[in-house]
């Protein structure tokens, strides 16, 4: 079922991107998930997605004017792949837009959730507590109640809101285009474990470690290492392996499958609680707190890195497949 021409084009795109600048997993990863989604949608649906995106208020400068020279604009599949990959990355582009567009489009709190927030299938917290009693749960409003932007507080409610706008054919076309970018992006973010909670301790991380950003790993940090889990690998091999993980010997079902992002958040939290903060890091935090020292930069052993990379492949692949499921079943 693999379309090797499309895969080859994506590999060329990612190689060029990675050589141009040091892009993290949350850039390249979003593009991969968007490309995976295109492997499972019909050509008509692909065309519909591009039509929706073309109403984006910054479509000319952030999309058409940014198409790399190596992308063949006459090749519909290749162009669609690049445009939707750019759309999936666009909420991060919005962070660096000049005002007033940055104020209009950048939503930092939409990319993650407080680990104490619970709802539906996300029935347990995503916070790791070291020598602390868990905080009280923060009950979330039902997804069907989130209809206005001011109600959005985290990645889950941001998906609630943006899927509502995107699935409404009577909504303002520009608003639908922006919502499409956010849906592509957030359905990737919710599959990253460190967007699902944080780690707390009595002294060093009384206010949390900001999803691993405050835990130094060598010259980097834990969050960034998860973002970049596949960056150092051969991109062609990674993409082929992700597709193999999804397809195996049969094509997964797309039509008639329901979307439940609370369940996706639950999956990310299970990984956060069971894998992300290994015993060595927890022990180092306890030792630093007992001695009144700052936490020194930690190292990740080979077994941890291997597990992290495998989880990243699974989560990126599932994000892409679930995007296809949502688009196939929920778009009018």
Flag whether 204 is in a domain: yes
Asked if residues 166 and 331 have their Cβ atoms less than 8 Å apart, the reply is yes
pLDDT digits 0-9 by tens, 65-98: 999 998 999 999 899 999 999 999 999 999 999 9
pLDDT at 225 over 60: yes
Quickly state the pLDDT bin for 239 (edges 50, 70, 90). Answer: low
Flag whether 124 is in a domain: no
pLDDT at 231 over 90: no
Q: Average pLDDT in the 265-276 region?
A: 97
Flag whether 167 is in a domain: no
Query: Which residues lie below 8 Å from residue 231, measured CB to CB, with a gap of 6+?
Result: 18, 23, 24, 25, 28
Cα gap 35→3, rounded to integer Å: 11
**Considering the chain, what percentage of its residues have pLDDT values greater than 90?**
81
Q: Which two tokens stand for residue 133?
A: 């009693």
Name which residue leads in pLDDT, 249 or 281.
Answer: 281
Flag whether 131 is in a domain: no
Q: Which two tokens stand for residue 43?
A: 């050509």
Q: The domain containing residue 292 runs over which residues?
A: 4-107+192-330
Mean pLDDT estimate for the chain: 90
Helices and strands in the chain: count of H runs, count of E runs: 13, 6
Flag whether 138 is in a domain: no
Cα gap 201→207, rounded to integer Å: 8
Helices 25-38 and 173-189: crossing angle in degrees, nearest 10, is 110
DSSP string, 141-194: PPGGG--SGGG--SHHHHHHHHHHHHT-TTS-HHHHHHHHHHHHHHHHHTTSGG
Q: What is the pLDDT of residue 14?
A: 42
pLDDT at 234 over 80: no
Flag whether 176 is in a domain: no
CATH of residue 293: 1.10.575
Q: Which two tokens stand for residue 263?
A: 């369940």
What is the value of pTM for the model shown?
0.90
Q: What is the pLDDT of residue 2?
A: 40
Q: Average pLDDT in the 223-239 region?
A: 73
Q: Average pLDDT in the 118-141 region?
A: 98
Q: Which two tokens stand for residue 324?
A: 């296809």
Q: Which two tokens stand for residue 326?
A: 């949502």
- The 3-state secondary structure of 15-73 reads HHHHHHCCCCHHHHHHHHHHHHHHCCCCHHHHHHHHHHHCCCCCHHHHCHHHCCCCCCC
Q: What is the pLDDT of residue 307?
A: 96
Q: Average pLDDT in the 161-177 region?
A: 98
Quickly state the pLDDT bin for 100 (edges 50, 70, 90). Answer: very high
pLDDT at 233 over 70: no
pLDDT at 18 over 50: no
Flag whether 284 is in a domain: yes
Q: What is the pLDDT of residue 7?
A: 47
Flag whether 44 is in a domain: yes
Q: What is the pLDDT of residue 232?
A: 66
Q: Is the dihedral of CA 332, 179, 163, 328 positive or negative?
A: positive
Domain total for the chain?
Answer: 1
The β-bridge relationship of strands 216-217 and 138-139 is unpaired
């Amino acid at each position: 079922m693999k379309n090797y021409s499309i895969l080859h084009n994506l590999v060329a795109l990612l190689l060029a991107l990675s050589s141009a600048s040091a892009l993290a997993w949350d850039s390249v990863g979003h593009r991969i998930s968007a490309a995976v989604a295109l492997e499972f949608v019909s050509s008509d649906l692909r065309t519909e997605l591009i039509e929706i995106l073309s109403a984006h208020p910054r479509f000319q400068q952030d999309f058409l004017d940014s198409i790399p020279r190596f992308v063949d604009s006459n090749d519909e599949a290749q162009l669609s792949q690049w445009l939707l990959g750019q759309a999936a990355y666009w909420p991060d582009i919005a962070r660096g837009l000049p005002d007033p567009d940055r104020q209009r489009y950048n939503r930092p709190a939409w990319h993650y959730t407080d680990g104490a927030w619970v709802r539906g299938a996300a029935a347990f917290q995503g916070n790791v507590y070291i020598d602390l009693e868990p905080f009280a749960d923060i009950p979330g409003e039902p997804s069907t109640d989130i209809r206005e932007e001011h109600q959005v507080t985290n990645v889950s409610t941001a998906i609630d809101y943006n899927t509502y706008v995107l699935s409404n054919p009577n909504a303002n076309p520009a608003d639908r285009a922006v919502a499409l970018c956010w849906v592509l992006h957030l359905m990737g973010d919710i599959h990253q474990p460190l967007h699902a909670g944080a780690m707390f301790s009595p002294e060093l991380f009384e206010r949390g470690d900001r999803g691993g950003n405050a835990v130094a790993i060598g010259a980097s940090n834990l969050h960034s290492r998860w973002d970049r889990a596949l960056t150092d690998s051969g991109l062609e091999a990674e993409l082929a392996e992700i597709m193999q993980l999804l397809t195996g010997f049969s094509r997964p079902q797309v039509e008639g499958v329901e979307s439940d992002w609370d369940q996706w958040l639950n999956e990310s939290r299970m990984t956060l609680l069971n894998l992300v903060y290994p015993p060595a890091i927890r022990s180092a935090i306890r030792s630093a707190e007992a001695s009144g020292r700052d936490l020194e930069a930690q190292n990740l052993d080979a077994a941890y890195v291997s597990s992290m990379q495998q989880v990243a492949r699974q989560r990126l692949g599932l994000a892409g497949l679930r995007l296809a499921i949502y688009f196939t079943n929920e778009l009018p």
